[in-house]
Copies of this chain bind each other. A is one copy, B any other.
């Protein structure tokens, strides 16, 4: 098993994505690639405990990600 296999298993499920700089996202994982670029839907952005719902999808750039928690 490789680490990114967990993303395959998490497709269409809710994940938590922690970003560099303290921002994080919660949303449904619609797609990913080997650079850890992620496509999230029904996402919420969390900055210092302040939650902002985001409509539509969000494409998160992989190199700003610290960890992903399926």
Q: How many copies of this kind of chain does the complex include?
A: 7
11 contacts between A and B (CB under 8 A): A1-B30, A1-B31, A3-B31, A3-B33, A3-B37, A3-B59, A6-B39, A20-B64, A61-B66, A61-B67, A63-B63
Determine whether A7 belongs to the interface, using a CB cutoff of 8 Å to chain B. yes
Shortest C-beta distance, A63 to chain B (Å), equals: 7
Known: A1-B30, A20-B64, A31-B1. A6 touches B59 (CB 8 A): yes
Interface status of A60 (Cβ within 8 A of chain B)? yes
Chain B residues within an 8 Å CB radius of A6: 31, 39, 57, 59
Which single member of B1, B38, B59, B67 contacts A7 (CB below 8 Å)?
A: B59
